[in-house]
A and B are shown apart, each in its own frame.
Chain A
Amino acid sequence: MKKRKIDISNLQPLIALFLMAVAMTILSENFATKDNLFNVARQISVNVCISVGMTMVILTGGIDLSVGSILAFTGAIAAGLFKNGIEMQGMNLYIGMTLFGVIWIALAAGAFLGWFNGFMITKFKVPPFVATLAMLTIARGLTMLYTKGFPITQLGDQFNYIGTGWFLGMPMPVWISIFVVSLAAFFMNKTRTGRYIYAIGGNERAALLSGIKVNKVKVVVYMIAGMLCAIAGLLVTARLDSAQPNAGGGYELDSIAAVVIGGTSLSGGKGSIIGTVIGAGIIGVLNNGLVLLNVSPFWQQVIKGFVILLAVVIDKFNTKGE
Chain B
Amino acid sequence: MKARSTDYAIIEARKITKQFPGVLALNKVDLRVYAGKVNAVVGENGAGKSTLVNILSGVYTEYDGELLLDGKKVVFKDTTEARQAGISIIHQELQLVPHMSIAENIFLGREPLNKIRTIDYNKMEEESRVLLIKLKFDTDVSRKISSLRIGQQQIVEIAKALSFDVRVLIMDEPTSALSESETKTLFKLIESLKSDGVAIVYITHKMDELTQLADYVTILRDGCSVGESAVKNIPVDDVVKLMVGRDIKDFFVKQAHKKGNVRLKIKNMSLKKSGKSGKYLLKNISFKVHASEVLGIYGLMGAGRTELFEAIFGLHPTPASGTVNIDQKSIKINSPDDAIKAGIALIPEDRKHDGLVLNMAISHNISLASMGKILKNGLLNERLERNQAEMYREKLNIKSYSSSQPVIKLSGGNQQKVVVSKWLATDPKILFLDEPTRGIDVNAKNEIYKIIDDLAAQGIAIVVVSSELPEIMAISDRIISMCEGQHTGEFARSEFNEEKILHAALPK
Chains A and B form a bound pair = yes
Whether, in the assembled complex, A316 has its beta carbon less than 8 Å from a beta carbon of chain B, the answer is no
B371 touches A209 (CB 8 A): no
Interface size class of B (residues with CB under 8 A): 20 to 34
Since A4-B404, A212-B368 are in contact, a sample of 5 more A-B pairs with Cβ atoms closer than 8 Å, ordered by chain A residue number, is A192-B380, A198-B360, A210-B368, A211-B335, A211-B337
Chain A residues, CB < 8 A from B336: 208-211
A208 → B minimal CB distance (Å): 6
A211 touches B360 (CB 8 A): no
Interface string of B349-388 (1 = CB under 8 A from A): 0000111111110001000110100010011100000000
B422 touches A269 (CB 8 A): no
Answer whether A270 and B359 are a contact pair too, CB < 8 Å, given A207-B368, A210-B422, A322-B408: yes
B339 touches A211 (CB 8 A): yes
B337 touches A213 (CB 8 A): yes
A269 touches B357 (CB 8 A): yes
A199 touches B368 (CB 8 A): yes
30 pairs, A vs B, C-beta closer than 8 Å: A189-B380, A190-B379, A191-B378, A191-B380, A198-B357, A198-B364, A199-B357, A199-B360, A199-B368, A202-B357, A202-B360, A203-B358, A205-B353, A206-B355, A206-B368, A207-B368, A208-B336, A209-B313, A210-B368, A210-B369, A211-B336, A211-B337, A212-B368, A213-B335, A213-B337, A269-B357, A269-B360, A270-B359, A321-B20, A322-B408
What are the 3 tightest A-B residue pairs by CB atom distance, in nearest-first order?
A202-B357, A210-B369, A211-B337
Taken together as a complex, chains A and B put the C-alpha atoms of A2 and B401 apart, in Å, by: 11
Chain B residues, CB < 8 A from A322: 408
A272 → B minimal CB distance (Å): 13
Answer whether A190 and B380 are a contact pair too, CB < 8 Å, given A4-B404, A206-B357, A207-B357: yes
B369 touches A195 (CB 8 A): no
Closest residue to A200 on the B side, CB-wise? B357
Interface string of A170-202 (1 = CB under 8 A from B): 000000000000000000011110110011001
Taken together as a complex, chains A and B put the C-alpha atoms of A206 and B407 apart, in Å, by: 13
Whether, in the assembled complex, B348 has its beta carbon less than 8 Å from a beta carbon of chain A, the answer is yes
B404 → A minimal CB distance (Å): 7
Chain B residues, CB < 8 A from A2: 402
Chain A residues, CB < 8 A from B379: 190-191
Interface string of A193-235 (1 = CB under 8 A from B): 0110011001101111111110000000000000000000000
Chain B residues, CB < 8 A from A213: 335, 337
Whether, in the assembled complex, B346 has its beta carbon less than 8 Å from a beta carbon of chain A, the answer is yes
Whether, in the assembled complex, B235 has its beta carbon less than 8 Å from a beta carbon of chain A, the answer is no
Interface size class of A (residues with CB under 8 A): 20 to 34
B149 → A minimal CB distance (Å): 24
A231 → B minimal CB distance (Å): 24
A211 touches B369 (CB 8 A): yes
Chain A residues, CB < 8 A from B380: 189-192, 194-195
Task: Kindly name the residue among A199, A202, A269 whose own CB sees the greatest number of chain B CB atoms within 10 A.
Answer: A202
Interface residues of B (CB under 8 A from A): 20-21, 313, 315, 335-337, 339-341, 346, 348, 353-360, 364, 368-369, 371, 375, 378-380, 402, 404, 408, 422
A205 touches B360 (CB 8 A): no
Chain B residues, CB < 8 A from A198: 357, 360, 364
B44 → A minimal CB distance (Å): 24
B371 touches A195 (CB 8 A): yes
Task: Kindly name the residue among A189, A213, A322 whose own CB sees the greatest number of chain B CB atoms within 10 A.
Answer: A322
Answer whether A203 and B404 are a contact pair too, CB < 8 Å, given A190-B379, A210-B368: no
**Which residue from A190, A205, A269, A321 sits with its C-beta under 8 Å from B21?**
A321
Interface residues of A in 265-322 (CB under 8 A from B): 269-270, 321-322
B423 → A minimal CB distance (Å): 9
A209 touches B357 (CB 8 A): no
Task: Kindly name the residue among B313, B337, B360 whose own CB sees the greatest number of chain A CB atoms within 10 A.
Answer: B360
B357 touches A203 (CB 8 A): yes
Interface residues of A in 1-57 (CB under 8 A from B): 2, 4
Chain B residues, CB < 8 A from A4: 404
Chain A residues, CB < 8 A from B339: 211
A210 → B minimal CB distance (Å): 4
Closest residue to B371 on the A side, CB-wise? A192
Taken together as a complex, chains A and B put the C-alpha atoms of A46 and B378 apart, in Å, by: 31
Closest residue to B367 on the A side, CB-wise? A195
**Which residue from B21, B359, B422 sits with its C-beta under 8 Å from A202?**
B359
Taken together as a complex, chains A and B put the C-alpha atoms of A205 and B354 apart, in Å, by: 5
A203 touches B371 (CB 8 A): no
Taken together as a complex, chains A and B put the C-alpha atoms of A194 and B364 apart, in Å, by: 12
Taken together as a complex, chains A and B put the C-alpha atoms of A202 and B352 apart, in Å, by: 11
Closest residue to B340 on the A side, CB-wise? A211
**Which residue from B355, B358, B402 sits with its C-beta under 8 Å from A209?**
B355
Chain B residues, CB < 8 A from A208: 336
A209 touches B348 (CB 8 A): yes
Closest residue to A319 on the B side, CB-wise? B359
Taken together as a complex, chains A and B put the C-alpha atoms of A205 and B313 apart, in Å, by: 14
Taken together as a complex, chains A and B put the C-alpha atoms of A209 and B351 apart, in Å, by: 11
Taken together as a complex, chains A and B put the C-alpha atoms of A131 and B354 apart, in Å, by: 27
Chain B residues, CB < 8 A from A210: 336, 340, 368-369, 422
Closest residue to B338 on the A side, CB-wise? A211
Chain A residues, CB < 8 A from B313: 209
Closest residue to A194 on the B side, CB-wise? B380
Taken together as a complex, chains A and B put the C-alpha atoms of A210 and B364 apart, in Å, by: 12
A203 touches B356 (CB 8 A): yes
